[in-house]
Amino acid sequence: MREIVLDTETTGFDPETGDRIVEIGAVELWNHVATGKTYHQYINPERSMPEEAFKVHGLGDEFLRDKPVFADIAQDFVDFIGDAKLVIHNAAFDVKFLNAELKWVNRPQIPWEQAIDTLAIARQKFPGSPASLDALCRRFNIDNSSRTLHGALLDSEILAEVYLELIGGRQPDFGLSTSQGGRSGGGDAQWRPTQRPTPLPSRLSENEKAAHAAFVEKLGQDAVWKTFSK
């Protein structure tokens, strides 16, 4: 089962009043496992960036000036998402903007049924509790310390972790099941996750690393840990 975890950054809240998408980030999942395939694109909105939006994502006019317009990247984007389910936090917002951009370049709309709204899932699962992406990271103990500003690809990677927790913390089966065909028609047993282009940062603090090293040192020269750390 292929899913795309997706996020966008925009110039504001409403495409009908002239707001545009300035960044799209997406992460591919296969049977709830990140494959390492991603889509990331900055987009020239062909308008100035409001100060309020700049404070959210830090994408200004000078940075976006030489980026492609949406019409130039529309085909690559559509090819990447295909007909996969789109996992989005507050899906109504992103789908509204994506469909506006697609409409302006005379391309088919994304059907609402293609979207999975993690905000709606979180509100149903934890009624009355904060359901922002940051709040869910705190709830599930997911490291979002690098999220100083909103960024579409980073937020998609974080949302992928949140999504798996929201659906029950399900452990991926690593494609061992052969009951369902893969993208190319083969069995899931033929699929293997590809290596991430950029390794995930370690979640261990320097204090934790130092404490572990001190513990291993006390075990002596024949400690198993020293064999595996060579």
The enclosing domain of 34 has a CATH number of 3.30.420.10
Q: Does one domain contain both 183 and 135?
A: yes
Residue 205's pLDDT is what?
A: 77
Note the pLDDT of residue 127. Answer: 96
Distance CA(60)–CA(87), nearest Å, equals 27
Q: What is the mean pLDDT of each run of 10 residues along the chain (230 residues)?
A: 97 96 97 95 97 94 97 98 98 98 97 97 96 94 80 94 87 42 42 59 75 77 62
Q: Please identify every residue annotated as catalytic.
A: 150
Residues 81 and 173 in one domain: yes
Stated pTM of the model = 0.73
| 85 shares its domain with 167 | yes
Task: Give 143's contacts (C-beta < 8 A, 6+ positions apart).
Answer: 137, 203
Residues 225 and 141 in one domain: no
Same domain for 75 and 184: yes
Q: Which of 22, 34, 14, 18 is nearest to 151 (CA)?
A: 22
- Residues 223 and 156: their CA atoms lie apart, in Å, by 40
Amino acid at 166: L
What's the total number of domains in the chain?
A: 2
pLDDT for position 212: 78
Domain range spanning residue 134?
2-199
pLDDT of residue 89: 97
Q: What is the pLDDT of residues 82-94, one digit of tens each?
A: 999 999 999 999 9
Going by the DSSP 8-state scheme, the letter that residue 50 receives in this structure is P
Residue 191 and residue 210 in one domain: no
